[in-house]
Amino acid sequence: MISINTTLQPTDLQSSLQNFWELSGQKVKLIQQQYDVSKGSPVFTVQGRYTTRGWTEWTQGFQFGSAILQFDATGEEEFLNYGRQNTLNLMAPHVSHIGVHDHGFNNVSTYGNLLRLMHEGKTPFNEWEKNFYELALKISGAVQASRWTTTKNGGFIHSFNGPHSLFVDTIRSCRALMVSYRLGHQFQGENDVKINLLERALQHCHATVQYSVFYGEGRDRYDIWGRTAHESIFNTKDGNFRCPGTQQGYSGFSTWTRGLAWAMCGFAEELEFLQTIPDQDLTHLGDRQVIEEFMLKAAQATCDFYIEQTPTNGVPYWDTGAPNLHKLGDYLNRPANPYNNQEPVDSSAAAIAAQGLLRLGRYLQQTGQTEAGNKYWQAGLTVLQTLLQEPYLSIDPAHQGLLLHSVYHWPNGWDYVPDGSTIPYGESSMWGDYHIREVALYLQKLINQEPYYTFFNCVK
């Protein structure tokens, strides 16, 4: 399990953060200079150079969002100009993309961050520019909400896999609906039926809590506190749940660690979001206490599982049930080894998880649960400290990636395996690079006593 450094303070990472942003800026420029956007969205690196991989278009927002975060962290306007211009030129198809569940990734990372910067006074206020960003975010949330499957006791936003498929990672993309709701958007369906976007978001959260997260309550033989299933399968004719499954994990009865991390981060920031919602907005959606309790239970369960099922340095292997982990011996009681010859690690899961741990820790500290909050907070700092150093931080000036040892889809064999190895290592992913920037910015803003960084700061 993670060896939590209980004495680590945010300011202890200041010099590492300064070095990180210098490297980060170099990587943004390298991709800008060398990547051909006509090939599609960059997804992951092969021998240090970003390439695309046709499946769904879910990573371009991370490319331009990274430049926007770089400006936020450093004030260098060339990154703002690059991110803003490419959001204008290339992101519109993602706003209207009816085939994906990733609107919270693509559009909140770009339009949302640009709008947030304007509200925070980091960019000049312009009424028409503000309206442009708001319109994109309103429509994006509505398009995502339209991917709806009705179940026996609610419903969920279905994945690109089809109406039968609930993905655990969509929990973080729910923020697209929440932003659209907060912007006052009125989503309408057949016969002009008005659809409450907050209700849809909360119903999706509840479905994820109920079917994608396990609590050690005897649901099946693999029911462990905090385990997640990547995919939950439903009968779309009668709305009944059928079984757990996976696309990128090892099996429906093991835990794909990036999916686990999405749940950790998603639930933690949605708990923060709920604090901004007036009680009257929740009256017809259920009792606030009930909603917050099921969210908090899922957040704590998943964070506990991550802490317990991750090696001591805070970086997990790609799946907790990966078939060759046993060949590594007592792997949970030593640091993860990205260069082993049995199973790959996934640093991108660690970057996402670190933010979830920090946000949950602060949420609990702020709500009077100091001891529990301190545990998660210190665990998040411990994971981030690992990622801000070699061998996870990419210092090679020719490598376009920022966070090394990320994997995309190991079961499909999409990840690059170096000669002489049986597993992938040394490569980066667009989501990994974005999320290490995001958690670094999150901590830096706290150190500098800047406005607390949330996805919903784009709404005033």
Protein fold of 10-458 = Glycosyltransferase (1.50.10)
Question: What distances in angstroms separate CA 82 from CA 79, 85, 106, 290, 448, one per listed residue?
Answer: 5, 5, 16, 44, 25
Show pLDDT as tens, one digit a residue, over the chain (460 residues).
Answer: 999 999 999 999 999 999 999 999 999 999 999 998 888 899 999 999 999 987 788 999 999 999 999 999 999 999 999 999 999 999 999 999 999 999 999 999 999 999 999 999 999 999 999 999 999 999 999 999 999 999 998 999 999 999 999 999 999 999 999 999 999 999 999 999 999 999 999 999 999 999 999 999 999 999 999 999 999 999 999 999 999 999 999 999 999 999 999 999 999 999 999 999 999 999 888 889 999 999 999 999 999 999 999 999 999 999 999 999 999 999 999 999 999 999 999 999 999 999 999 999 999 999 999 999 999 999 999 999 999 999 999 999 999 999 999 999 999 999 999 999 999 999 999 999 999 999 999 999 999 999 999 999 999 8
Domain boundaries, the chain: 10-458
> Which of the residues 169, 304, 415, 433 is marked catalytic?
169
Q: At what angle do helices 288-308 and 257-274 cross, to 10 degrees?
A: 150
Q: Is 12 annotated as a binding residue?
A: no
330 is catalytic: no
Q: Is 279 annotated as a binding residue?
A: no
Instruction: Please state the separation of Cα 39 from the chain's center in Å.
Output: 24
169 is catalytic: yes
**What pLDDT, on a 0 to 100 scale, did the predictor assign at position 20?**
98
In DSSP terms, 241 is beta-bridged to: 234
First to last CA, the chain: 41
* Cβ proximity of 3 and 382 under 8 Å: yes
Q: Is 262 annotated as a binding residue?
A: yes
Torsion angle defined by CA atoms of residues 418, 428, 64 and 202, in that order, rounded to the nearest 10 degrees: 130
Q: Is 72 annotated as a binding residue?
A: no
Q: Is 21 annotated as a binding residue?
A: no
Neighbours of 426 (CB within 10 A): 20
> Which of the residues 36, 72, 102, 281 is marked catalytic?
102
Sign of CA dihedral 334, 340, 342, 343: positive
What is the CA angle 303-173-350, rounded to 5? 35
CA 49/CA 68 separation, integer angstroms: 21
